[in-house]
Amino acid sequence: KAGVTQTPRYLIKTRGQQVTLSCSPISGHRSVSWYQQTPGQGLQFLFEYFSETQRNKGNFPGRFSGRQFSNSRSEMNVSTLELGDSALYLCASSLGEGDTQYFGPGTRLTVL
Amino acid sequence: AQTVTQSQPEMSVQEAETVTLSCTYDTSENNYYLFWYKQPPSRQMILVIRQEAYKQQNATENRFSVNFQKAAKSFSLKISDSQLGDTAMYFCAFMGDSSNTGKLIFGQGTTLQVKP
């Protein structure tokens, strides 16, 4: 089976812009979770989607949003980018509750 | 709130030797899942091992094994016969059972260097 894929792998944006990141889960996986990784804050949970429904959300401002499509692919959007949004964004997919999460290679976002 | 603590920011080990990475966690839940993930310089997060809290037997995967002490809320990772390819950052992670579905809580990570 193909692993989790994320596009794009690298992205450079300027403050105030918005960005959309995409995640394609492992075939058959219906849960997609998103994480932000920074040197200062480590790995932090953004949100989780299962069957097109957001089931869980981390402590991030409303500028961070996401959605999931009927084929389980997920996107996350960050509006009005800030310098502090520069990070590695990881998505992970799993079969569902309690199942192991498998990670994609990440999208490296740089905000200038 | 659940927390995960890795008290060793950096460790090193000689090739072929054994090393143990520490992890403690805090939760009021009785059933949960614990994981060790490895993140090499490529930044790809790779599952190393998984432990279900209801299982008393410690999980093993080839050269990797855990020492799960539920009462002490401790979950250490032992790497035997260390190889150069084991050089990476290692994260301990917690996932609750019914609460906070789909959410992994990570420790701060331990950078492991395997020396030739």
Task: For residues A101 and B47, give the distance between their C-alpha atoms in angstroms, rounded to a whole number.
Answer: 8
Residue B22 scores a pLDDT above 90: yes
Q: Search chain A and give the residue with CA nearest B35.
A: A100
Higher-confidence residue: B98 or A43? A43
In chain A, which residues have their Cβ closer than 8 Å to the Cβ of B91? 43
Residue B28 scores a pLDDT above 80: yes
Give me the mean pLDDT over the B41-61 stretch: 94
In chain A, which residues have their Cβ closer than 8 Å to the Cβ of B42? 105
pLDDT of A88: 98
pLDDT of A85: 98
Smallest CA-to-CA distance from B104 within A72, A99, A24 is with A99
Percent of chain A with pLDDT over 90: 96
How does the average pLDDT of chain B come out, rounded?
95
Distance from CA of B82 to the nearest CA of A (A): 24
Higher-confidence residue: B2 or A23? A23
Residue B97 scores a pLDDT above 80: no
CB contact under 8 A, A56 and B103: yes
Residue A83 scores a pLDDT above 90: yes
Q: Search chain A and give the residue with CA nearest B101.
A: A97
Q: Is B86 helix (H, G, I), strand (E, B) or coil?
A: helix
- pLDDT (tens digit per residue) in A15-24: 999 999 999 9
In chain A, which residues have their Cβ closer than 8 Å to the Cβ of B97? 97-98
Give me the mean pLDDT over the B36-63 stretch: 94
Residue A1 scores a pLDDT above 80: no
Residue A76 scores a pLDDT above 70: yes
Considering only the beta carbons, identify the residue of A42, A50, A98 that sits closest to B106: A42
Question: How many CB pairs below 8 A link A and B?
Answer: 58
pLDDT of B99: 64
Per-residue CA distances from B72 to A95, B24, B25, B39, B113 (Å): 30, 8, 9, 26, 28
Give me the mean pLDDT over the B73-93 stretch: 98
Residue B1 scores a pLDDT above 90: no
CB contact under 8 A, A56 and B97: no
Distance from CA of B12 to the nearest CA of A (A): 20
Smallest CA-to-CA distance from B20 within B73, B67, B71 is with B67
